[in-house]
Every structure is written in structure tokens, then in C-alpha cells.
Amino acid sequence: MGLRPLRLGDVRVWRETRLRNADWLRPWEPSNPETPLFRTGLGPYISMVGTLRREARQGLALPWVMTYNGRFAGQLTVGAIVWGSARSAQVGYWIDGAVAGNGVTPTALAMAVDHCFFTTGLHRLEANIRPENQASRRVVEKLGFREEGIRRRQLHIDGAWRDHICYALTVEDVPGGLLVQWRRARESAAHGGSSVEEV
């Protein structure tokens, strides 16, 4: 499991994965004309990558690919980065349903959190998740993100304005790094400790 930068060369595998997972992703996807699920052309992907790369150069985004066994498994993006006195950002992710349940998403998110806090210098990360999205909520909850309340009609998702639960972490919450905490929790579960459900 790992993270690497999103590349223009990922276009075909990204598109194939999105099309194959259209029903799996539709209830949670922003209604965004730049990244539609069903367009047949490659233009929307190229436009999205161009935008994300430009934002990355400006220090406003960190677009990554999640990998599993060295293969494309989904996307994780830290975006809406605010510097100055806030030093905060929002994280979003999606995973190929074929590899869900193997711990890919929480591992990748833990790696991203550590990079944001200890390399990039951010102080706070938020994940805003629809209340109905139990799988995504489990990811952040088992990593220790705290629930901070409802954001009413925050994003246009699947054709309507939807409420989201705000989850957050600050650097003070993970002094030794989140990936270390996550690996310890998984090891504990594997040796008879409390169960860790994989997403």
C-alpha cells in the first residue's frame, strides 16, 4: 500500500476504474462537470490533473494516487490548503471497490496526514463526509479523527445539496505520527486485541 503523485499517464487506468466503480462511487461524488463518471473522452481527466498540478505548484493541493500491490487503487487529494494563521486543508478520497477491505484507504490517509503535518507544515486536516457514508466514516474514526458537527447542505453530491459530518485532526493529536498509531492498532487487532475493520 502506498501513495504517489497523480500523473497524466494515469488517465486510462483512472478512467477504467471510475467507470467500473460508477455505481459504487455515485452516491458520494460531487456533482462536478470537470470529473464526470460517465464521459467517454479523456478530456475531463486531463483538465482535472492540470488543475490539481497547478494548485500543487501554488501550494494549494496535494493530489495522490493510492496504490495496492503496486497498482492504481484510488485517489486521495489534500485540497483547499490555507496557509497563514490557519495552516489547514481538506482531504478527500475514493477507492476501487475491488480492493476495498484491505486497509488501503486508512493506510494511505495516515501516510498523507503525516506528510501534511511533518513535511508540509500543516496544522489541521478536515474530512467532510456524508452521514450515510458509513465506510468512509469508519476510515477517519478508526484513525482518530474527531467528529466536530454537521455542515448543512455543504456540497452538491449526486444531484442535490447534501449535509456532511466534519471530522478533523490537528498535529497535536498525533505527536508520534498517525501511520505509527495505525500500524500499532492493526498489529494489536491481529494479535487478539480489539478488532480493526478494514476499508
Decide if 197 is inside a domain: no
Q: Which of 23-37, 54-68, 105-119, 152-166 has the weakest average pLDDT?
A: 23-37
* pLDDT surpassing 50 at residue 156: yes
Q: What is the CATH number of the domain that holds 94?
A: 3.40.630.30
- pLDDT-derived band at 28 (thresholds 50, 70, 90) equals confident
List the single range of 90-104, 111-125, 154-168, 179-193 with lowest mean pLDDT: 179-193
The residues near 190 (Cβ < 8 Å, ≥ 6 apart) are none
pLDDT higher for 89 or 52?
A: 89
Q: In 3D, which of 76, 60, 53 has the Cα closest to residue 1?
A: 76
Written as nine digits, the cell of 110 is 495516515
Cell of 11: 488517465
Considering its fold, how many domains does the chain have in total? 1
Q: Is the pLDDT of residue 110 over 80?
A: yes
Q: What's the domain range around 75?
A: 2-192
Does residue 198 have a pLDDT over 90?
no
Does 199 map to a domain? no
45 part of a folded domain: yes
**With 90 as the cut, is the pLDDT of residue 105 above it?**
yes
User: How confident is the model over 160-196, as pLDDT tens digits?
Assistant: 899 999 999 999 999 999 999 999 988 888 776 543 3
65-95 pLDDT, tens digit each: 999 999 999 999 999 999 999 999 999 999 9
4 Cβ neighbours under 8 A, 6+ residues apart:
64, 65, 67
pLDDT at 33 over 90: no
At 50, the pLDDT band (50, 70, 90 cuts) reads confident
Strand order in the sheet with 146-157: 2-5, 62-68, 71-82, 88-95, 124-129, 160-170, 146-157
Strands 160-170, 124-129: pairing kind: antiparallel
Question: Above 60 in pLDDT, residue 6?
Answer: yes
Domain for residue 124, yes or no? yes
What CA–CA distance (Å, rounded) separates 171 from 68?
Answer: 27
Please tell me the predicted confidence (pLDDT) of residue 27: 86
Sign of CA dihedral 86, 58, 71, 176: negative
